[in-house]
Amino acid sequence: MSEQVICIGCGVTIQTEDEKKIGYAPPSALERDPIICQRCFRLKHYNEVQDVSLTDDDFLNILHGIGQADGLVVKIVDIFDFNGSWLPGLHRFVGKKDVLLVGNKVDLLPKSVKHEKVTRWMKQTARELGLQPRDVFLVSAHKGYGMKEVMTAIDEYRNGKDVYVVGCTNVGKSTFINRIIKEATGKGNVITTSYFPGTTLDMIEIPLDDGSALYDTPGIINHHQMAHFVDKKDLKVITPKKEIKPKVYQLNEQQTLFFGGLARLDYVSGGRRPFVCYMSNELFIHRTKREHADELYERHLGELLQPPRKSYCEQLPPLVAHHFTLKEPKTDIVFSGLGWVTCHEPGAQVIAYAPKGVGVMLRKSLI
């Protein structure tokens, strides 16, 4: 497009090339007057928000805008990928504003897990990462679990002010907001879109009863998420859809677990012990002797060891080794976006492999 066209709904520059990116409108929409982007169109006509993603610079702009505005920030994370879906810079921008931290997709955790324990863990981890949320919630936006409590808290803490919902792509932010729209407004066509006042930000405004608004910000891409390293079909395999059934492996020293062909855990030393894997039930886990692991990977990546599927193997970055000594009891070895492996006793030496660029880390056990 040679001439810049602006969406009358949210103020973003319209583009017709990439459906996933901000400002997309199908070419036919350019013939209409006024012109609005697909995201505003869906909100206006179906009361549904659609997630689009931002570049890092756009993200900084948005954070900056939120930093200057007055209101409540609702930060959504994916409880299955807590660290991978954390927005690291947020606390520097929010200043003294109240933040509510919402862990979505709680339906994926085993039913036996105590929610109070997880929220305590979230509070502590948030603090360690520099954020002091006023309160912490666990919800399943998909199933509707916990939504009433969050909505009540939002209403209480916003104190008549605006609300900004932030989160990186894939945390379920659209599902969350769509749920709020449904629960709060029923079916009536009360949603409007409007230009975010005083800035060039492309937020979507959902009016609240008292004249203030809830703002949906576009999803932010966290580059180290596994989701960016696999194609759509494989993403379906590694994204859990229902309650995770932990798989326990009693490993001897010098044994290896392959998680499809996307990650690998070598147990180097520490005596025979259990490793508990929390990953998508559909992800194939293969155990082998460590001495055979390299050869197995070379020969069977994309076949026995998949995802990735054969046709996608070449695009997968090489696996990189991360060496850890587990010093604390109850430690999770986290493969960002793929899940984690819990080791209950300290003293193990492990090597965790993931594609170059994917986050791998240790943390105090979530469960």
What residues line the site for ligand GDP (CB under 6 A)?
51, 104-105, 107-108, 140-142, 167, 169-175, 219, 241
Long-range contacts of 229-232 (CB under 8 A, 24+ apart): 229/262, 229/316, 229/317, 229/355, 229/357, 229/358, 230/262, 230/307, 230/308, 230/312, 230/316, 231/308, 231/309, 231/312, 231/315
Q: What is d(CA 32, CA 27) in angstroms, rounded to the nearest whole number?
A: 10
Between 51 and 234, whose beta carbon lies closer to ligand GDP?
51
Between 20 and 292, whose beta carbon lies closer to ligand GDP?
20
Q: Are strands 349-355 and 319-325 parallel, antiparallel or unpaired?
A: antiparallel
> Minimum distance from CB of 309 to ligand GDP (Å)?
19
Q: What is d(CA 122, CA 137) in angstroms, rounded to the nearest whole number?
A: 9
Between 239 and 306, whose beta carbon lies closer to ligand GDP?
239
Q: What is d(CA 353, CA 367) in angstroms, rounded to the nearest whole number?
A: 22
Angle at Cα 108 formed by Cα 306 and Cα 98, nearest 5°?
A: 120
Q: For 202-325, where are the alpha helices, taking DSSP H only? A: 232-238, 290-300
Between 122 and 343, whose beta carbon lies closer to ligand GDP?
122
> Minimum distance from CB of 138 to ligand GDP (Å)?
10
Q: What is the Cα gyration radius of the chain? A: 22
> Minimum distance from CB of 305 to ligand GDP (Å)?
25
> Minimum distance from CB of 304 to ligand GDP (Å)?
27
Between 80 and 324, whose beta carbon lies closer to ligand GDP?
80
Indicate the residue whose CB is closest to ligand GDP. 172
> Minimum distance from CB of 21 to ligand GDP (Å)?
13
> Minimum distance from CB of 338 to ligand GDP (Å)?
15
Between 239 and 331, whose beta carbon lies closer to ligand GDP?
239
